[in-house]
Amino acid sequence: MITDVVIAGAGPNGLMLACELGLAGVRALVLERLPERTRENRANGLVGQVVRMFDRRGLYERLTGTQGPPEPAPGFVFGGLPLDLGVLDDNPLHLLPVPQLRIEQMLEERAVELHAEIRRGHELTGFTQDADGVTVQVSGPAGPYTIETRYLVGADGGHSVVRKLAGIAFPGVTTDLTISRTAHAVVPAELVDPATGRLDIPGYGTIPPFLHHRTERGVFVYAPLPGTGTPLISTMEWSGQDPEGPLTLAELRASVRRVLGADIAFGPPDGQGPHMMRKLTGGNTRLAGRFMDGRVLLVGDAAHVHSAIGGPGLNLGLQDAVNLGWKLAADVRGLAPDGLLDTYESERRPAAERVVMSSRAQSALIGPGSEVTGLRALFTELLGDPRNVGRIADLMSGADIRYDVGVDHPLAGRWAPDLDLADGVRLAELTRDGRPHLIDFTGGDWGHPATAGLPGSTTPCTALLLRPDGYVAWATDVPEPDAESRASLRAAIRRWLDASRCAAEGCAGGR
């Protein structure tokens, strides 16, 4: 029996890909070398377009327990500098402060609902491929075995075994110039302003929460994350002592003293955890030489690693999975137009390059030296202009991504705007099936009238074709269909969705 898709790695990216494949009718088999989900919390939430992507798959409601669209964040940081997002008329930056452990749990539950199989304690050890498929060697609890699959996807992190066995280069830069320490810790209540969450540190002054607070000696962060009960305290130093062994609170307190020149008498976290206690030396910025090698593909950290500043990692990796899922499923089902799967790399590599650029720029802005202090003063002035704030917010959220879909329209290739439809359905509710949709704002000339815009509302065009990943494949402003616009729509369907699929599933006849 041939498995449709094998995914190596049951982290968020691998599980999200399994969900997307399941929505498209393709069953995924996920291999995870760890016998159970890790208790180490590697991230503390989602930043950027992926929050709205979760809304469009019904996953935001699962994580938050609330209905309705996510609200954009009133503020954030860029390179340790405050970013006032309240000055924007159209704020694209969304935050979802949920521990990665919870995100993985929810994604695994959803993947299983969509008939994915998760095998924990099963490690990929090798593979061979030919033009028709991949033979995967696996080490499991009962011994070694093989799996025949049409495609293999490496979602197995920065040290990806899949990438290494495929012989895909991972060029970039490794540095050992910084030491980062992060831990959950309890701060004395008298140091915290209950109204603002600011820390008032004797001998130093006031520090806002969540801000990368830079001094000439390092960076300090105090993050009282909602729902966790215990805040995170983090430091980064450009040089200094690095005692051997795991991080301790005493070592973190000493680091805080060096960075701020003042003491904070924080103590161990309450409860059973899991609690973070992590020390990292240096960092990596690397981008895979290619994201595809025959029938082997890479997503997430297996394809790119970079600084975590600004929290772009899950935003980038999870959107890799959403971009790849529908294309890979179409190929497996024999419905993919020629070249569709190749657009995974041509679309997602530029997105990864922009994240690498952004993280490098932010790392430079929190670096040491009086020159950097001057640069930060200049950036502070620049961020007083709403136009610059908007460009940075677009960059950090991923809202500035535009794919080349071959259509000349301002919306083409962009993330579809959030819309309310005439039948009382939000666009985010319409797209939870992971299918393409033709949205008609004319009252029925393009598609089913139930998808028309709300009466009297401002609509961005007269009709648009939505890809399964939420991006616009085609749009028009003509008030009524004519020969040219119909031909343009048919060309977009052939390029992205395949005409036979749309005829069978109704994407050109309404939703």
Give the tens place of pLDDT for each residue, 416-437: 988 887 777 888 998 999 999 9
CATH number, domain containing residue 229: 3.30.70.2450
Give, in order, the Cα–Cα distances in Å from 215 to each of 176, 243, 269, 372, 437.
20, 22, 26, 11, 51
320 and 376, same domain (yes or no): no
Residues 222 and 231: beta-carbon distance below 8 Å = yes
> Cα–Cα distance between 13 and 40 in angstroms, integer?
16
Of 294, 314, 311, 292, the C-alpha closest to 303 is 292
CATH number, domain containing residue 475: 3.40.30.120
419 and 483, same domain (yes or no): yes
Final residue of a structural domain among 283, 309, 342: 283
Bridge-based pairing of strands 2-8 and 28-32 is parallel
Final residue of a structural domain among 283, 298, 331: 283
Helix axes 12-23, 313-332, angle to 10 degrees: 30
In a domain, 362, yes or no: no
311 and 393, same domain (yes or no): no
Average pLDDT over residues 90-116: 94
In a domain, 511, yes or no: no
Residue 445: predicted pLDDT: 67
35 and 50, same domain (yes or no): no
Name the average pLDDT for the chain: 90
Q: Give 25: exposed, middle or buried? Use CB within 10 Å, 0-12, 13-18, 19+.
A: middle
155 and 38, same domain (yes or no): yes
Among 138-147, 166-175, 205-214, 311-320, the range with the most confident prediction by mean pLDDT is: 138-147
Residue 293: predicted pLDDT: 97
323 and 381, same domain (yes or no): no
217 and 265, same domain (yes or no): yes
Instruction: State what percent of residues in the chain have pLDDT above 70.
Output: 93
24 and 108, same domain (yes or no): yes
Of 15, 288, 268, the C-alpha closest to 159 is 288
Residues 393 and 83: beta-carbon distance below 8 Å = yes
Average pLDDT over residues 127-138: 97
The distance of Cα 349 from the centroid of its chain, to the nearest Å, equals 14
Average pLDDT over residues 313-324: 95
**Number of residues written out for the chain:** 511
Which parts of 333-479 fold into alpha helices (H)?
Answer: 343-365, 370-382, 386-397, 427-430
143 and 12, same domain (yes or no): yes
> Cα–Cα distance between 230 and 227 in angstroms, integer?
9
Of 434, 414, 160, 138, the C-alpha closest to 291 is 160
In a domain, 373, yes or no: yes
pLDDT at 502 over 80: no
Give the tens place of pLDDT for each residue, 447-498: 544 344 444 345 788 899 999 999 999 999 998 888 999 999 999 999 999 7
Q: What is the sign of the dihedral through the CA atoms of 499, 501, 507 and 509?
A: positive
In a domain, 361, yes or no: no
306 and 439, same domain (yes or no): no
Average pLDDT over residues 53-67: 94
The distance of Cα 508 from the centroid of its chain, to the nearest Å, equals 30
In a domain, 510, yes or no: no
Final residue of a structural domain among 283, 314, 346: 283
Residue bearing the bigger pLDDT, 217 or 348: 348
CATH number, domain containing residue 140: 3.50.50.60
Residue 448: predicted pLDDT: 44
178 and 241, same domain (yes or no): yes
Average pLDDT over residues 49-62: 96
**Helix (H), strand (E) at residue 333:** none
Residue 508: predicted pLDDT: 40
Exposure pattern of 272-298 as b/e (b: 16+ CB <10 Å)?
A: eeebbbebeeebebbbbebbbbebbbb
For residue 459, the enclosing domain spans: 414-505
Residue 467: predicted pLDDT: 96
In a domain, 210, yes or no: yes
- What DSSP character marks residue 421? B
73 and 213, same domain (yes or no): no
Instruction: State what percent of residues in the chain have pLDDT above 90.
Output: 68
Give the tens place of pLDDT for each residue, 371-415: 999 999 999 999 999 999 999 999 999 999 999 999 999 999 999
Give the tens place of pLDDT for each residue, 2-42: 999 999 999 999 999 999 999 999 999 999 999 988 776 66
Residue 505: predicted pLDDT: 44
When divided into structural domains, the chain yields a total of: 4
